[in-house]
Amino acid sequence: MKIVRRDYIKDGPGSIKMIPEEPDDLWVAYNLISKGDTVMAVTVRKVLREAASGGRDAERVKLKLEIVVEAVEYDKEGSVLRIRGKNILENEHVKIGAFHTLEVEQHRPFVLRKALNKFFENVLQAFLKHVDFKIVRCAVIASPGFTKDQFHRHLLLEAERKQLRTIIENKSRIVLVHTTSGYKHSLREVLDAPNVMNLIKDTKAAQEVRALKDFFDMLSNDPSRACYGPKHVEVAHERMAIQTLLITDDLFKNADVKTRKKYVDLVNSVKNSGGATHIFSSMHVSGERRTSSTDRNRSNFALSPPGP
């Protein structure tokens, strides 16, 4: 068996792309695939088309389908694996939910995704436990590929089946966002998504994202009005030239009491002089981005007002 690609999360969902190279590889695949898994492969399906004469001609079309497995059959004599299930991949020739049988043979690649139901159920329970729509503006489901769409369907179906009123009544506040990966750094893509920003535009998180964007824009377009690092920010403060101060909360947790007091006094002074301050959580993606753009010794930024 040739393994082309692995993509999985420990104790979570995962997929593997493989190519059976020997007859025994089909037997291995037969034992790997279980009911509820999904399998994606190129297949051939007979499609009826309108003919010029007004009749309908049958044509065999090659297309890619992904099905939720309902049954698997191993044909040893024919060296083929027949996998029957419902299609879940949008296609002009095969509707979602339509039954199809994929035939996997030697040297034909396919992608196996292990059953997501258990993973989805764990995420659903975490969603119910941690998402309180009395407090949050929206809940974002993000992923590369179709996982977000599959979970969203699972969430709404389970909400109807179990009559989960908190989800049913707030489904318009559940937003889907495409990201390039499932890792933490992709939260930046979530926060940049227009449909998310419209829902959280007056929240602290959105204000921080905008403030950070303003800083980087200023640094690129009008660098004389943007400064960073303790020394440069202190000079701007001495000149009463800070319009907006960006700072991370880890400076307030410094082991040195004098250092902590120094930055608390800086924040208070900027506020008292009419400036705006944004204290970023070092655990939040915007705080991480702000910190990573400099080194640990340059943990504050400032924007100055335009000159006369």
CATH number at residue 246: 3.30.1330.30
> Is 72 part of a structural domain of the chain?
yes
Which of these, 253, 224, 258, 254, lies nearest to 241 by C-alpha position? Answer: 224
Which of these, 202, 101, 195, 109, lies nearest to 148 by C-alpha position? Answer: 195
Same domain, 44 and 59: yes
Residue that terminates a domain, selected from 142, 173, 200? 200
* Number of domain units in the chain: 3
> Is 109 part of a structural domain of the chain?
yes
Position 301 confidence tier, pLDDT thresholds 50, 70, 90? low
Same domain, 94 and 159: no
Tokens of 97: 């939910």
Q: Work out the percent of the chain whose per-residue pLDDT is above 90.
A: 32
Domain hosting residue 93, numbered range: 2-113
Same domain, 69 and 54: yes
Same domain, 228 and 136: no
Same domain, 101 and 134: no
pLDDT given for residue 11 in this prediction: 52
Contact criterion met (CB below 8 Å) for 236 and 242: yes
Q: How far from chain centre, in Å, is Cα 298? A: 30
> Is 28 part of a structural domain of the chain?
yes
287 has pLDDT over 70: no
pLDDT given for residue 250 in this prediction: 80
> Is 232 part of a structural domain of the chain?
yes
> Is 173 part of a structural domain of the chain?
yes
Same domain, 209 and 232: yes
Q: Which of 43-57, 105-119, 205-219, 264-278 has the lowest mean pLDDT?
A: 43-57
Same domain, 101 and 146: no
Mean pLDDT to the nearest integer, 244-257:
84
> Is 257 part of a structural domain of the chain?
yes
Q: pLDDT tens, 54-85?
A: 666 778 888 999 999 999 999 988 999 999 99
Same domain, 90 and 54: yes
Which of these, 171, 147, 129, lies nearest to 88 by C-alpha position? Answer: 147
Q: Which residue has the higher pLDDT, 307 or 127?
A: 127
Instruction: Specify the CATH number for the domain of residue 158.
Output: 3.30.420.60
> Is 308 part of a structural domain of the chain?
no
Position 294 confidence tier, pLDDT thresholds 50, 70, 90? very low
pLDDT given for residue 267 in this prediction: 92
Instruction: Specify the CATH number for the domain of residue 105.
Output: 2.30.30.870
Mean pLDDT to the nearest integer, 270-277:
91
296 has pLDDT over 50: no
Same domain, 41 and 106: yes
298 has pLDDT over 50: no
232 to 67, 229, 303: CA distances (angstroms): 59, 6, 11
Contact criterion met (CB below 8 Å) for 131 and 139: yes
Same domain, 228 and 291: yes
Same domain, 102 and 124: no
Residue that terminates a domain, selected from 113, 129, 145? 113
Residue that terminates a domain, selected from 113, 129, 153? 113
